[in-house]
Every structure is written in C-alpha cells, then in structure tokens.
Amino acid sequence: MSLVSINPATGKVIKEYQQHSIRETRSIIDKVAIAFNKWPLTAFNERADLLKRTAVVLRNKKEQWGKLMTLEMGKPLKESMAEIEKCAWACEYYADWGSSFLKNEIIVTDASKSFVTFQPLGVILAIMPWNFPFWQAFRCLVPALMAGNTVILKHASNVSGCALAIEDIIREAGFPEDVFRTLLVPSAEVNKLIEHAAVKAVSLTGSTQAGKKVAAKAAGLIKKAVLELGGSDPYLILEDADLEEAAEICVNSRLINTGQSCIAAKRFIVVKKVADEFTGLMLEKMKLRKADDPMNPNTVLGPMARTDLRDQLHLQVLKSMEAGAKCLLGGVVPETPGAWYLPTILTHVKPSMPAFDEELFGPVAAIIEAKDEEQAIALANDTIFGLGAAVFTRNKQRGEEIATTKLQAGACFVNALVKSDPRLPFGGIKESGYGRELGVFGIREFVNIKSVYIN
C-alpha cells in the first residue's frame, strides 16, 4: 500500500510513498520507547542546544522546505517560508524558556521540604493535519522533546514528504537516534497506534469528528489527549470600529492559507448600523485577492489542498444559498485542473445554515447582520465551536471587556486577527477541543505534575 501526494495546483501525482507495515510500525514505536530510557537524563541545556540547532537547520533550507509544503498542499510560497520561520521561532523560544517552565516549584507545607516537579510521560503520539504541515508538527514536538518526552509523528497522508522532511531535520540537528520518528500509515491505523503500550499520550490537531474518535479511544485506555479541533471563529464588527482597518484584517484572516485554518475568521457578525459599509469594503478587498500559481513568490492565494475538500466546501455554499443566503462574490468552481476555489462572500447568513453552523474550511466569508452589540455577542457564542474570536471597536476598554468576559473561545483578540504564538497558550473549548499547546501551559500538558513531600 502507498500514500499518495498530489499537487493541488495541477491535480498531478507528485510521489507515492510506501507505507510502513504493521511490523515496521511496531518496531519504530519500540525504538522510540527505548530512546525514552536515556533522553530524559539529558540536561536541559543540552536539549536547548539541540533545539537551537534545529532552528538553524530550518532557516538554512527555508526555501527548500517551503517549496515542499507548497507542492504538497498548495499554500502560497511566501506563507510556506513564513511557516518555517515560525517553527524556528518556537524552537528558540522553548530553548530559552523551557527549563524555567519545568523548574521545581517549592510549596510551603508542614513538611521539612515539599515541592512540585515536572517529569516527562514517555512516548507521545502526534496526529497532525495537512494545512500547516510543519507548524502543526513543530508546535507539538518542540515542547514535548524539551520536556524529555520522545515523539512519534503520524502526519496527514497527503503531506508524507513533509513528514519525512521533519524527521530528517531533527536528525540533522543532532538529536539522538529515535527520539523523534515519523510513521507513514493511513488514518485507519490510528487506533492501533494509540493502543500500543509504549504510547503514553496523544496530541491531535484535526476535525471535530476525528477528535471525538481519538478522545474516545484514548479515554478508554486511560491515556491523556490534547485536542485542537475545528472552529467557526466569529469576528464582531461594532458600530464604532475603524471599518477600513477591520475589513483589511478580516479579509487577511479569512484568506490565510486559502482559508484553510482552524483559527481563520469564518463568521463576520456586523452591527446593522455599519453592515452595508463593512460589506462593501469586504467585497472591494476580496476582489483584489487573485488566485495564482502558489510557487510564484508574489501569489497571495493558492488552491485548496484537495479536490474533495473543495467540493465539500462548495456544497456547503450551495446549501446555504438554498436556505436563503445570498452570494455576493464567487461561489463558483473554476473549470481548471486542481483544487481551485474562488474567494466567496455570502450575506444574509443566519443560524441553521451550513455557513453559520458548520466550519467553512476554505476562502468563504459569511456575513451576519446583528441589530446591536448584545445580539452580536449572542450570535458569536451561538456555535458548537470555541477556538478563537475577535472584536473590532475603537473603545479598547470595551473591546477588552467583551474579549475577556463575553466571548466563549480559547483565544479572543481585539482589533487584530486571531493567531498562534509560541508565547501564548493555544486551544479551544466546546467542540473545538481541550488542553493547550504552546506557552508554559503547553509544555506542561505532557508531563507528570508530581508532588514530592519530605518529612
């Protein structure tokens, strides 16, 4: 059996990768488990040095890795290269701060000495998606390795080249053999990976449906899981917002990675008083974003990653229109090879439509009119998801209050697009998942938070 990578810009097969057999898979996991016997014994400064070397390896071949990403999943080359830079940043961040995040914490009790220590769990299984082939993997593996765990990567089948490249990067940086390995197996084999006795915890980034399956399997085996799942991020446009700036930020957020981001803006909830003006600005700016060859350094919008995903998105658009939504722009599948979809704007979107209730994982903006701020907040929270949210207002104090106490999401931004940052915890609530990646909270997800009491 093989895993196939297809260029989404052309529809042509790039390469077929032979998947690992059951015997090979078990052997690799066993080797990663053996590597765990020694890896936690290394000093923090040694792990930090290896992460810093990893950052150097990433930057030295940034264009090479960027082109590989663009070839396999279609994102514009400049976004791919920026992704490599972000991975390097994460390596440096945890190299600088990881040891302090995991430093023993003295707790005063009636003991002569008591403290909390953070010890690695063992082999971590990372099940990662195709939309950010390097970043999703690195934001999991970097803190996990810094904490003393060893890691197995089961990547999305359509980015197998990226999965193998990540293993090469870790090896080139000088990490001990088998501290990190990539497995080339289909999604159907995930349960067997979780069942392996050496696997102590699971990190999944993917759809809510996949998350439910992994969560159920891990829970049945009493294994910890961190889940970063789907999102339908609301962006609230209040009547005192700087509409020009808001529209620019909203379009940028909606079209990042051709709209294929869990924290891309998806639902634009606009107070009625400014709805027409904001919609006009969105239309004007969306029209300027032209899809082109993703390998061109100047391209801002590439194809979607796969034709089946494009077709699913188009069906959501059509069903929303059947339910009363109006298509202001796009909504058309181009008659060209590849997984292309034109930037699309839907207006008159309401609850019960796919454009409101479901995640639109592509370049489709859903504009929703609210009579006032109170209703805008209610509409924002009327969702099964809770990953990110944003609010636009000139009253920063009011924006902070809404972001802090009113919006139900794992990350709430004011006058800015929602993004991940190595310094801040990242994750969601409701059906967007649980647990956190990044920051101090992320590195502490896959450790034993152990109390030590000495009388």
- Over the chain, what HEC string results? CEEEEECCCCCCEEEEEECCCHHHHHHHHHHHHHHCCCHHHCCHHHHHHHHHHHHHHHHHCHHHHHHHHHHHHCCCHHHHHHHHHHHHHHHHHHHHHHHHHCCCEECCCCCCEEEEEEEECCEEEEECCCCCCCHHHHHHHHHHHHCCCEEEEECCHHHHHHHHHHHHHHHHCCCCCCCEEEECCCHHHHHHHHHCCCEEEEEEECCHHHHHHHHHHHHHCCCEEEEECCCCEEEEECCCCCHHHHHHHHHHHHHHHHHCCCCCEEEEEEEHHHHHHHHHHHHHHHHCCCECCCCCCCCCECCCCCHHHHHHHHHHHHHHHHCCCEEEECCCCCCCCCCCCCCEEEECCCCCCHHHHCCCCCCEEEEEEECCHHHHHHHHHCCCCCCEEEEECCCHHHHHHHHHHHCCCCEEEECCCCCCCCCCCECCCHHHEECCECHHHHHCCCEEEEEEEEC
28, 152 Cβ separation under 8 angstroms: yes
- The span from the CA of 11 to the CA of 22, in Å, is 30
Percent of the chain with pLDDT over 90: 100
Partnered with residue 152 across adjacent β-strands are: 125, 181
Distances in whole angstroms, Cα of residue 38 to Cα of each of 176, 181, 238 = 9, 16, 55
Q: Mean per-residue pLDDT for 398-407?
A: 98
pLDDT at 238 over 90: yes
pLDDT averaged over every residue in the chain? 98
Q: What are phi and psi of 29, to 5 degrees?
A: -60, -40
- The span from the CA of 136 to the CA of 116, in Å, is 30
Residue pLDDT, tens place only, 139-172: 999 999 999 999 999 999 999 999 999 999 999 9
Residues carrying an active site annotation: 228, 262
Q: Mean per-residue pLDDT for 357-365?
A: 98
pTM of the model: 0.97
Residue pLDDT, tens place only, 417-441: 999 999 999 999 999 999 999 999 9
Q: What are phi and psi of 173, to 5 degrees?
A: -70, -15
Dihedral sign (CA 65, 142, 17, 11): negative
Residue pLDDT, tens place only, 210-223: 999 999 999 999 99
Topology of the domain covering 233-414: Aldehyde Dehydrogenase; Chain A, domain 2 (3.40.309)
pLDDT at 384: 98
Strands 199-205 and 180-183, bridge-based pairing: unpaired
Q: Which CATH superfamily is domain 2-229+429-454 in?
A: Aldehyde Dehydrogenase; Chain A, domain 1 (3.40.605.10)
Q: Mean per-residue pLDDT for 89-117?
A: 98
- The span from the CA of 220 to the CA of 403, in Å, is 36
Of 145, 195, 175, the C-alpha closest to 25 is 195
Q: Mean per-residue pLDDT for 396-415?
A: 98
Q: Locate the domains of the chain by residue range.
A: 2-229+429-454, 233-414
pLDDT interval class at 389 (50, 70, 90): very high
pLDDT interval class at 1 (50, 70, 90): confident
pLDDT interval class at 286 (50, 70, 90): very high
pLDDT at 45: 98
- The span from the CA of 447 to the CA of 102, in Å, is 9
pLDDT at 186: 96
Q: Mean per-residue pLDDT for 95-104?
A: 98
- The span from the CA of 187 to the CA of 29, in Å, is 17
Q: Mean per-residue pLDDT for 30-42?
A: 98
Percent of the chain with pLDDT over 70: 100
Q: What are phi and psi of 297, to 5 degrees?
A: -60, -20
